[in-house]
Amino acid sequence: MVIANAGFGVVGPVEHLGLDDYRRQFETNVYGVLRTVHATLADLKASRGRLAIIGSVSGHIATPGSSPYAMSKFAVRALAEALGHELVPAGVAVTLVSPGFVASEIRRVDNAGVFRADSPEPIPAWLVAPVERAARTIVRAVARRRREIVVTGHGKVAVWLQRHVPCLVAGGIRKFGVRSRAEPARR
């Protein structure tokens, strides 16, 4: 089994971000995953193995202020879908893993990719899934050769709504002023 995971989150309104912010986001989140795929492809094919590609619920739903991160995770989702079709003749199963909020340091990393230890967790604790539970869910899905898994309950609801009633999601984002998290403060 190979897990292709690379990521941090560039956030902010498009007018405050430059092309280098988007380029840096793609270099890590998309090309980092692609480098893992290329480095392991021969072994995956030889073993008829399993490839887990870590995306995000943000690869299904974009919110204001999240365009670089969402774009990168939409690209990762497309990569997983294409590789799923491409590698099935070789016996390789591809699973797209779309976590919601899982306990990690990603929300405390600034737009330059620097970890800000003194930044508080911006997501309420009741929405953050423990790593152990997320890992068990991912391993089970990959072992069963599932095409896709959305890890958290709130993520499953959000992705389902986006797929089936996208106008409701768009209306909710606008009505309730949903925005991406703020960039961790640089001190």
Q: Is 69 a catalytic residue?
A: yes
In degrees and rounded to multiples of 5, residue 149 shows phi and psi of -140, 130
- Max distance between CA atoms of the chain, in angstroms, equals 51
Q: Give the Cα separation of 18 and 114 in Å (integer).
A: 18
Q: Give the Cα separation of 39 and 91 in Å (integer).
A: 18
Which position among 25, 33, 69, 138 bears the catalytic label? 69
Residue in the structure block whose two tokens are 């997320």: 134
Residues involved in catalysis: 69
